[in-house]
């Protein structure tokens, strides 16, 4: 019995940083339950990755390596992990809530006959029973869940909800290579190499100041107002996903988990609610300011300066006062 954390490798072969956030969640749980913490690394050729995982303060590393896992496929990963879970028999399995885990986690859970609690933000304890907290209804409510049923119990943790676990190189853990068998014919989806769209002109990552617009801007005609503010502040214009989905601004101006990650000195959010997929792209900004009509919008939880108000009233005032000064 153990708490097993499944670390993820990116297509470039590095650890996905959310792996170490999942490890922190696993460590909390293992500590409370008095269970050993182990880590699973999966991929086509693991190289030094198993040894790196072994230097993270775990009792054991399970290495799942197979040529058919070089390119991620849900079929390949589920088959490999089903076998691995059978061999390890963990009590809990922790995943980072990455796009890859979104793709295979629910399939794996169903294949092993278990439920999967996706996207948890914290774990509490009620006696010996862990309680998993998840945001629901777009962050309007929180929900406490318990996991029923037999081990293994599977859950994933939201990006940024747990601090990344540190390296602990002092006493490296033993590495166990797991023997698994995969059938090429059972991999039904054929992926090609990941690619980026031809780079656009917007390089938001080096911008000192960013004015970012969300659905609160309401109409493409109103973008000119935000552009004027950006010009007056010496800022680049960026946006949340729906603005780029609608084609109001090009995709290379999208901030968030699918778009760019930015760290400007100033990030001014106009009419953006602050969904987690947006926050992960901008919460590292030095100063965050937000204008939003809804006082309960999650953007105010990360904003250093919050203006609860109508952007169509506040932005013209900002422009007027910037002109006067």
Ligand X SMILES: Cc1cc2nc3c(=O)[nH]c(=O)nc-3n(C[C@H](O)[C@H](O)[C@H](O)COP(=O)(O)OP(=O)(O)OC[C@H]3O[C@@H](n4cnc5c(N)ncnc54)[C@H](O)[C@@H]3O)c2cc1C
Subset of residues 171 to 230 that bind another protein, contact rule: CB under 8 A: 188-197, 209
Site for another protein in 239-268 (CB under 8 A): 241-242, 244-246, 251-252, 257-261, 265-266
Distance CA 176, CA 195 (A): 33
How many chain residues bind another protein (CB under 8 A)?
A: 86
Residue number, 61 or 267, with CB nearest to another protein: 267
89: left (phi over 0), alpha (psi -120 to 50) or beta: left
Nearest to 175 by CA among 46, 303, 274, 44: 46
Interface map 279-308 toward ligand X (x if CB under 6 A): --x---------xxxx--x-----------
Interface map 272-301 toward another protein (x if CB under 8 A): --------------xxxx------x---xx
Residue 98, both tokens:
């990455």
Half-sphere exposure (Cβ direction) of 305: Cα atoms closer than 13 Å: 9
3-state class of 65 per DSSP? strand
Residue 320, both tokens:
């007027």
- Taking CB under 6 A as the binding criterion, the range among 29-37, 119-127, 179-187, 270-278 that sits at the site for ligand X is 270-278
Question: Residue 174 Cβ, how far from another protein at the closest point, in Å?
Answer: 32
Question: Residue 177 Cβ, how far from another protein at the closest point, in Å?
Answer: 27
Site for ligand X in 197-226 (CB under 6 A): 214-216
Distance CA 42, CA 62 (A): 8
Among 122, 227, 258, 261, binds ligand X (CB under 6 A): 258
* H helix or E strand, kind and range, residue 222: none
- Counting contacts by CB under 6 A, is residue 248 touching ligand X? no
Question: Residue 246 Cβ, how far from another protein at the closest point, in Å?
Answer: 8
Distance CA 151, CA 298 (A): 35
Q: Are 55 and 164 in contact (CB under 8 A)?
A: no
- Taking CB under 6 A as the binding criterion, the range among 155-163, 186-194, 221-229, 253-261 that sits at the site for ligand X is 253-261
Q: Are 43 and 70 in contact (CB under 8 A)?
A: yes
- Partner in contact with 240, chosen from another protein, ligand X, none, beta carbon below 5 to 8 Å by kind: ligand X
Distance CA 226, CA 217 (A): 9
Distance CA 118, CA 96 (A): 9
- Partner in contact with 300, chosen from ligand X, another protein, none, beta carbon below 5 to 8 Å by kind: another protein
3-state class of 250 per DSSP? coil
Distance CA 81, CA 112 (A): 10
Residue number, 102 or 168, with CB nearest to another protein: 102
3-state class of 134 per DSSP? strand
In which residue are the tokens 């914290």 written? 122
- Counting contacts by CB under 8 A, is residue 33 touching another protein? no
Question: Residue 251 Cβ, how far from ligand X at the closest point, in Å?
Answer: 10
- Counting contacts by CB under 8 A, is residue 308 touching another protein? yes
Among 14, 208, 231, 310, binds ligand X (CB under 6 A): 310
Distances (CA, A) of 104 to 21, 75, 99: 19, 8, 9
Question: Residue 150 Cβ, how far from ligand X at the closest point, in Å?
Answer: 30
Q: Which residues bind ligand X (CB under 6 A)?
A: 214-216, 240-242, 254-259, 271-273, 275, 277-278, 281, 291-294, 297, 310-312
């Amino acid at each position: 019995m153990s708490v097993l954390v499944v670390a993820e490798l990116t297509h470039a072969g590095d650890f996905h940083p959310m792996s170490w956030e999942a490890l922190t969640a696993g460590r909390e749980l293992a500590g409370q339950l008095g269970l050993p913490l182990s880590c699973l690394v999966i991929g086509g050729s693991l190289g030094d990755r198993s040894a790196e995982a072994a230097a993270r303060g775990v009792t054991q590393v399970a290495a799942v390596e197979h040529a058919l896992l070089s390119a991620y496929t849900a079929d390949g990963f589920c088959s490999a992990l089903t076998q691995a879970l059978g061999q390890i028999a963990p009590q809990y399995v922790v995943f980072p809530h990455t796009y890859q885990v979104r793709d295979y986690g629910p399939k794996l859970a169903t294949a092993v006959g278990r439920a999967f609690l996706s996207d948890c933000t914290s774990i509490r304890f009620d006696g010996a029973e862990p309680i998993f907290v998840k945001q629901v209804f777009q962050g309007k409510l929180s929900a406490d869940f318990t996991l029923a049923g037999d081990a293994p119990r599977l859950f994933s943790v939201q990006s940024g909800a747990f601090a990344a676990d540190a390296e602990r190189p002092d006493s490296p853990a033993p590495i166990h290579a797991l023997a698994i068998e995969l059938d090429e014919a059972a991999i039904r989806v054929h992926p090609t190499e990941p690619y980026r769209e031809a780079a656009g002109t917007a390089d938001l990552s080096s911008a000192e100041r960013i004015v970012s617009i969300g659905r609160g801007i309401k109409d493409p005609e109103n973008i000119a107002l935000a552009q004027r503010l950006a010009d007056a502040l010496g800022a680049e214009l960026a946006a949340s996903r729906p603005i780029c989905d609608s084609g109001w601004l090009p995709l290379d101006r999208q901030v968030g988990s699918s778009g760019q990650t930015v760290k400007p000195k100033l990030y001014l959010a106009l009419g953006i609610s602050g969904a987690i997929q947006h926050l992960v792209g901008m919460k590292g900004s030095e100063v965050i300011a937000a204008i939003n009509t809804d006082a309960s919008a999650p953007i105010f939880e990360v904003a250093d300066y919050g203006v609860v108000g109508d952007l169509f009233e506040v932005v013209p005032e900002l422009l007027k006062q910037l002109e006067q000064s």
